[in-house]
Structure 1
Amino acid sequence: MPNNPSAPPPRQKRERTVFRRLDGILLLDKPQGLSSNQALQRVRHLFRADKGGHTGSLDPLATGLLPVCFGEATKIAGGLLGARKAYETVARLGIVTDTDDAEGQPLRERPVPAITIDSIDAALKQLTGRIRQRPPIYSALKRGGEPLYAKARRGETIEIEEREVDVHAFDLVNAADLLDGDEPLLRLHVECGSGTYVRSLVRDLGELLGCGAHVAELRRLWVDPFREPRMWTLQALENLLAQAGERVLEACLLPIEAGMTSWPQVRVSEAQAQRLGRGQGLRGPYQPQGQVALLDEHGRGLGLGEVDAEGGLRPARLFRWASATGALPEAGTP
């Protein structure tokens, strides 16, 4: 049969990723346009990590720090979800959207009144501290096992209850665009606790200012305990892999211990580590009461433990190497 010159070239078969055991934490600079899960899967395939998870979603519109946990680091990811976080955001005044950000459909538009720095600061003060906040309808919060955004996309009527959140700081960075009459934009800095939605803060700020608002830009700056993060973009990681290979790529990972500094630390001897590895508790007194990070005599992480009211210590979530043999991997070993 003669070749057909107009036929499209045959599709290249995509090589299947061969995953491997890999432990560590990547401080990813998430790009705009990807969901947090899409970004996670991209880096998981780059590193060929058999297990991975992220610590707190960022909206597709948002950029910035997304800590990604590989392997045994996923066992501490839940504790990092509740960490304090900081953001820079740009609020666009005068337009309210159904998602409370620039990716949504406009619901209503109002003129922006004459606004002073004092009135902005007064409104920001009302939204600082322990406040009650209504999360956005388009959010990953689940009801009946299904994310709210899925219900919203089907046009279902959704009632969302207010809940208490902690806003440690909500400050004006720059109002030059608004005051100069260029665009009705406010540049803001936010520090908040777990469960706080910056989109809701900006929406409520717009209502206090009498004109409505939505998030035009959002960037996460840091997440405890990573206050001064060295972040890696997807492009930089892809270039490293292509130019220098997998071993150099692995050097971008932080050790698991870097993510354990938010917990009080308890060091144990080799004999005590063996007892914990067998699931046995240790008599104290240990302190403080509650969840603690378990380290061996050399500072290597063993996992998470729990100190009870009597000062006894028991294992909670141990890493795979915290076994009865007491054998630990060498630093940097995948």
Structure 2
Amino acid sequence: MAATEVEIGPAVERAPVPETAETAAGTATTSPATAAAAIVAAAARTGTEATASKAALATKLLSLSGVFAVRKPKGPTSAELLNRLKQKLLAEAGMPHKEWTKRKKQTLKIGHGGTLDSAAGGVLVVGIGRGTKMLTSMLTESKRYVAVGELGRATDTLDSTGKITEVKPYDKITQEDIESILQKFTGNIMQVPPLYSALKKDGQRLSTLMKRGEVVEAKPARPVTVYSISLQKFQPPFFTLDVECGGGFYVRSLVSDIGKELSSCANVLELTRTKQGPFTLEEHALAEDRWTIDDIAQSLEHCSSLLPAELTLKKTKPEESSEQVLSCKSVTLNETTGNDEIIKTF
């Protein structure tokens, strides 16, 4: 499914600060960065050079705080990509280590604000440390998408991943026809969200209920904002749109509605988020080969200048809502039992 839909309700996981017995007492009242610094000193006294190096990386990782952007490819869900990022960072820092004790755990918090579905790619905004508290603000920022629509076919998901539900002719539709109706979808408009979405009913996503074969009623139309739409290319049956919109907007619904307005039907073939808030795909989104502690530290420093000063100090609390998505994960990786790591998700 294509992506702009997000629901609020953070799911939090937690990841531990490694510590030795001699530093356990101090970490209970110190910050993660300070606690990790103590680990470096302990490693230098009791461990090998390699252990000290890993502990230094753990210190740096746990001191990271702010908001940055990564490049999401098609395929994985946003949650899966976030987990991949988290695991790469933990592995680079050597966390967890079998010699670390279970007591007095500190946490690594990491989350994303603004879900992109598995079929979509582009900018995914990530918060780390205290930056996870800024993610709610990212949901209200403007977003920009490049969408490739296909005329003549409708699907149950409103994109190419779904089952075809309708086929209609499109051969008489011209470029001028499409351009002439785009104004109807610009400004403050009403939009019905798709049934396959992250919106919830009785605590469960509508898409999950649909996949189970349960009967789901469409959500009522709701107000959304479209700042601009332009037709970039038209090669029947395909047309490419550049869309800038506000939070809660569904590009899939837009493409479907355009098809209906043209007395045909349409679905989204490809979707790429090129911008979210101040973060752009070309300038700010880190590709996976740059998911390192050093690269993220540099990106956080650069991206901090893009955010309003008041936002960096704001302590927002995610609201409970069934109409937007905020995924905020932190994982507690405990001491290993045998060869298996115990991972608790909260």
| Partner Cα distance (1:74, 1:118) in 2 | 45
Task: Give the secondary structure class of the aligned counterpart of 2:176.
Answer: helix
Please list, as runs of the form range in 1=range in 2, the aligned pairs for 1:285-304 lying within 5 A after superposition: 292-293=310-311, 301-304=312-315
The answer to whether the aligner puts 1:230 opposite 2:284 as a matched pair is yes
Distance 1:187 1:98 in 2: 21
Aligned length: 241
Q: Is the 8 A contact 1:25 1:259 kept in 2?
A: no
Q: CA deviation at 1:302?
A: 3.7
Larger RCO of the pair (alpha carbons < 8 Å, separation 6+):
2
Say whether residues 1:209 and 2:262 are aligned partners.
yes
Distance change >3 Å, CA 213–CA 17, structure 1 → 2? farther
What root-mean-square deviation, in Å, do the aligned CA atoms of Structure 1 and Structure 2 show? 2.3
Contact 1:222 1:229 in 2 (8 A): no
Contact 1:131 1:166 in 2 (8 A): yes
Check the 8 A contact 1:26/1:254 in 2, yes or no. Answer: no
Aligned match for 1:57, one of 115, 130, 152: 115
SS at match of 2:180: helix
Give the 5 Å matches for 1:97-116: 97-116=155-174
**Stretches of structure 1 lacking an aligned partner (at least 5 in a row):** 1-15, 179-183, 266-291, 294-300, 306-334
Preserved contact between residue 279 and residue 285 of structure 2 (Cα < 8 Å): no
Structure 2 CA distance, aligned partners of 1:110 and 1:17?
58
Cα distance, 1:253 vs structure 2: 3.4
Decide whether the 8 Å contact of 1:76 with 1:260 is kept in 2: no
Q: Give the drift of 1:209.
A: 1.1
Counterpart of 2:208 in structure 1 is: 150
**Distance change >3 Å, CA 121–CA 146, structure 1 → 2:** same
Matches within 5 A, 1:1-334: 21=62, 22-48=64-90, 50-159=108-217, 160-175=219-234, 177-178=235-236, 184-227=237-280, 229-234=283-288, 236-237=289-290, 241=292, 246-248=293-295, 250-254=297-301, 257-258=304-305, 260-261=307-308, 265=309, 292-293=310-311, 301-304=312-315
Q: Percent identity?
A: 35
Q: Is the 8 A contact 1:171 1:188 kept in 2?
A: yes
Return the letter of the residue paired with 1:250: A
Task: Check the 8 A contact 1:93/1:206 in 2, yes or no.
Answer: yes
User: Normalised by the size of structure 1, how large is the TM-score?
Assistant: 0.67
Map Cα deviations across residues 7-46 of structure 1 (whole Å, 9 max, x no partner). Answer: xxxxxxxxx9977523232311101011111111111222
What TM-score, normalized to structure 2?
0.65
State the secondary structure of the residue aligned to 2:216: coil
Whole-angstrom CA distance in 1 between matches of 2:147 and 2:131: 30
- Tell me the distance in 2 between the aligned counterparts of 1:303 and 1:164: 27
Partner SS, residue 87 of structure 2: helix
Q: Decide whether aligned partners of structure 1 residues 206 and 248 sit closer, same or farther in structure 2, where only a CA change above 3 A counts.
A: closer
SS of the residue corresponding to residue 50 of structure 1 reads: strand
Structure 1's 167 and 222: CA in aligned 2 closer, same or farther, altered over 3 A? same
Any conservation in 1 of the 2:68–2:303 contact (CA below 8 Å)? no
Secondary structure in 1 matching 2:286: coil
Residues 89 and 170 of structure 1, relative CA distance in 2, 3 Å threshold: same
> Contact 2:66/2:130 (CA < 8 Å) preserved in 1?
yes
Q: Distance in 2 between matches of 1:118 and 1:225?
A: 32
Instruction: Report what 2:47 is aligned to.
Output: none
User: In 2, are the aligned partners of 1:82 and 1:194 still within 8 Å (CA)?
Assistant: yes
Query: Distance between the aligned counterparts of 1:174 and 1:69, measured in 2?
Result: 35
Aligned partners of 2:164 and 2:287: how far apart in 1?
31
User: Which runs of 5 or more residues in structure 2 are unaligned?
Assistant: 1-15, 19-57, 91-106, 317-346
Pick the structure with more helix per residue: 2
| 8 A Cα contact 1:27 1:68, kept in partner | yes
Taking structure 1 as reference, are residues 256 and 75 closer, same or farther at Cα in structure 2, changes over 3 Å only?
Answer: farther
Rg comparison, structure with higher value:
1
